[in-house]
Structure 1
Amino acid sequence: MHRAPSERTLRRVLAGVDGDELDRQTCRYLGGQAAIGESGEGQASERCAETAEIEDVAVHLWVGMGVERETRRARQRARQRPDPAGVLAGGAADGKALRGARHGEEHGPQLLSLLHHTRGVVLGQRRIADKTSEVPELAPLLLDALACGDIAVVTVDALHTVRETARHLSEDLGLYYVMILKENQLKALAAAMLALAGGTDAAHERAATGHTDLDKGHGRRERRTIRTAAADAIDFPHAAQVFRIVRQVAEIGGPGVSKEVAYGITNAPPDVAGPAHLGILYRVKTRPRWL
């Protein structure tokens, strides 16, 4: 007869495990599993036609088991409006507090994680020491995480938009970066605003330096307009382009339109990441495509 271990046994075993090593091996296992599933293109293509209808039905059946409505909408959008060819495989680095967790006397410890944009797999994560910043932890995180991923570009928020991180990603790791510009990089932000101020959105689209994406869902309409410009005159490590994204959201049948403007910088040249590609990389930073 098989008997499950008691809670006390599980706690005793886990207390003796190296948490960092367990986390590292778990992320590598999950990353490897995703890679294996995607590597069998021949088998996957055969299964796709046979199981597509079953998967669509299953999505509806799983709603009561925790799969949200957004999952179905994302899959429908992917079928109706597929992403343009050539989107780089990316990972989003971001820090989160673990609510409900505890480490010694500390409640809600902070973790810095690297999430694969399309697989929805955490490729690695590191705990942020008390009273320290996430920034110095990004380099060791990538050293572990990149061993089990096919990452070509790393997207980060404004906190990690620092010169050393840009240099490390470009020179030491040979990766592209997409970074958000805010007040911590005032000179680069001012230069980007100046470079992107001229012309209209229509003129940028005609010149292949602009793109507009429309979306509808959750009772609202969303319009995202991006324009790009060369970063030749901007003093930032290996910068190739700057971009501006304007996001306008209108409630269907509601009053007014909300507007958000964000600026960013990347070392990817236009032939590697055009406006449509940068718009996708920016969007999945906040809303991964696997949802």
Structure 2
Amino acid sequence: MKRQSVTSVPRSESLSLVSAQVALWQRLGEVSDPRKARGRRFPLSVLLVIALCATAAGFGSWRAMAQWAAAAEPQEKLRLGLVPVGAFGLVRAPGADTLRRVLSAVRPGELEVLLRVREVALETVAADGKALRGSRRGTESAVMLIGAMAQDGTLVAQQRVADKSNEIPALTPLLSVLDLRGVVVTADALHTQAETAKVLVEEMGAHFVLTVKRNQPTLWETCRSIPWHEVTAVHKESGRGHGRLETRVTKVVTWGDLAFPYVRQVARVVRHRTVEASGKRTREIVYLITDLTSQRAAPEVVARYARGHWGVENKIHYVRDVTFGEDAARIRTGHGPQNVSTLRSITINFLRWTGSSIADAQRRLALAPHKAPLDLFGVPADQQLSS
């Protein structure tokens, strides 16, 4: 797909969004077509644009994507790259079977490159996994993905976890596509492994903030036995969200007596939560370990890294499940579940880059379900897309 100009970007949108749109079109044209050349009715780039725009508009199944394309106005179909055929110049849209067959065969790694169409200066990267529950087939497990989120909420990498495996061996391949020199990587307790820490520090030049829970009993007990009542480096913060009032108290201490490579500091985070509707109160203690020194990571900095990691649930998982209904999606065949999840993530990134809230951006899409997605991704208004 060739794109020569951006013609429909509102002035209020930033130059960084415009550059992301330009990069998107360039990279869409580089995705390899899994089909043989003979018999192709629609270029791959056109099918990808349709699937991406339809997904943004909330049409998430193959059938819904086809219906979205068929319902577009003639000028919008031309913007999508659909061309008139026959004596009467009819513009036909691809059917659900075509979209399913082709997009289930596209190599996921080529689509996942589109997550990085905008340059993001990485400070932190939070790695976390998510199951696509609707992809479960019979006795087969649901497709499991692991993603990496930058500090601004952008999902910058995503990969599938191998069947009959877990997230641990998938973390290194996920992060290897990023330049992590000097970047702080945060991960949950599953990834608190000595080998993971060595790879991050020795091979990637990164730093780590890892969670310690009872799945590492010796490490957890060592962290718990630190005389926390004597620690004076403390940071306290409170916040309200999702009907809960939460207070977090973070204590950090320099501690070298730990059987884990490169650890410089240990932190204890005590989270007090109160459900405002019922008044129910809970208390949770989480330990963190990091290779960062006290000069680089004071208690308030460690607390920010921890809060940023927990933000994956709100900024990525919640939006994909609630706004885009990912858990309810029933796409199951081939690479379909992974590829459509990538399309959702690309959409979320672009919505976030508009500078408004996801909710406001989503409402604009709902008010103009064809034009607004085309504008969001910078589809040219005055020219027909070509393969």
Q: TM-score, normalised by structure 2?
A: 0.53
Matched ranges for 1:124-203 at <5 A: 124-144=157-177, 146-147=178-179, 152-199=183-230
Q: Report the CA distance shift for 1:198/1:32 in structure 2 as closer, same or farther (over 3 A).
A: same
Q: Deviations over 1:193-248 (max 9, x none)?
A: 2224232xxx72xxxx1100022344442211000111211121100100000011
Change (3 A) 1:218 1:184: closer
Higher mean alpha-carbon deviation, 101-110 vs 91-100, is at 101-110
* 2:285 aligned residue: 261
Match of 2:284, as an amino acid? E
Deviates more, 1:163-172 or 1:12-21: 12-21
Identify if the C-alpha distance between structure 1 residues 104 and 117 changes in structure 2 by more than 3 Å, giving closer, same or farther.
farther
CA RMSD of aligned residues (A): 2.6
SS at match of 2:110: helix
Q: Please state how far the C-alpha of 1:127 moved relative to its aligned partner.
A: 1.4
Equivalent position of 2:88 in the other structure: none
Unaligned runs of 5+ in 1: 39-87
Identity %: 35
* Counterpart check, 1:26 vs 2:114: yes
What is the rounded CA distance, in whole Å, between the counterparts of 2:137 and 2:213 in structure 1?
32
Distance 1:259 1:104, change over 3 A: closer
SS of residue paired to 1:183: coil
User: What is the identity, as a one-letter code, of the residue corresponding to 1:193?
Assistant: R
Which one scores higher on RCO, CA 8 angstroms, separation ≥ 6?
2
1:228 maps to amino acid:
V
* Conservation of the 8 A alpha-carbon contact between 1:113 and 1:126: yes
Q: CA 1:276/1:9 → structure 2, altered by over 3 Å: closer, same or farther?
A: same
Match of 2:301 among 272, 277, 280: 277
**In structure 2, do the counterparts of structure 1 residues 219 and 5 end up closer, same or farther at CA, with 3 Å as the change threshold?**
closer
- Give the one of 236, 239, 242 matched to 1:215: 239
Distance 1:219 1:135, change over 3 A: closer
Separation in structure 1 between the aligned mates of residue 103 and residue 243 of structure 2, nearest angstrom: 45
Partners of 2:181 and 2:204 within 8 A in 1: no
Distance of 1:4 and 1:19 partners within structure 2: 24
How far does residue 184 in structure 1 lie from its aligned partner after superposition?
3.1
Give 1:34 shift: 5.1
In structure 2, what is the Cα distance between the partners aligned to 1:266 and 1:196? 18
Q: How does 1:21-170 map to 2 (within 5 A)?
A: 21-23=110-112, 25-27=113-115, 31-33=116-118, 35=120, 89-101=123-135, 106-118=140-152, 120-144=153-177, 146-147=178-179, 152-170=183-201
Mapping 1:219-234, distance limit 5 Å: 219-234=243-258
**1:19: how far off?**
2.4
Per-residue deviation, 1:21 = 2.8
Q: Distance in 1 between matches of 2:280 and 2:135?
A: 41
The one-letter amino acid of 1:13's match is: V
Change (3 A) 1:104 1:228: same
The code of the aligned residue for 1:192 comes to: C
Contact 1:196/1:244 (8 A) holds in 2 = no
Cα pair 1:196 1:228 within 8 Å, conserved: no
For structure 2, the 5+ residue unaligned runs are 1-83, 85-90, 316-357, 359-387
Q: TM-score, with normalisation over the residues of structure 1? A: 0.69
> Take 2:300 and 2:126, find their aligned partners in 1: how far apart are those partners?
18
Partner of 2:272, secondary structure, is: strand
Q: Which has the higher strand share?
A: 1
CA shift, 1:264, in A, is 1.0
Structure 2 equivalent of residue 58 of structure 1: none
Q: CA deviation at 1:103?
A: 7.6
Aligned length: 226
Shift of 1:273: 1.4
In 2, Cα distance between the equivalents of 1:255 and 1:10?
Answer: 49
Contact 1:196 1:229 (C-alpha < 8 Å) held by counterparts? no
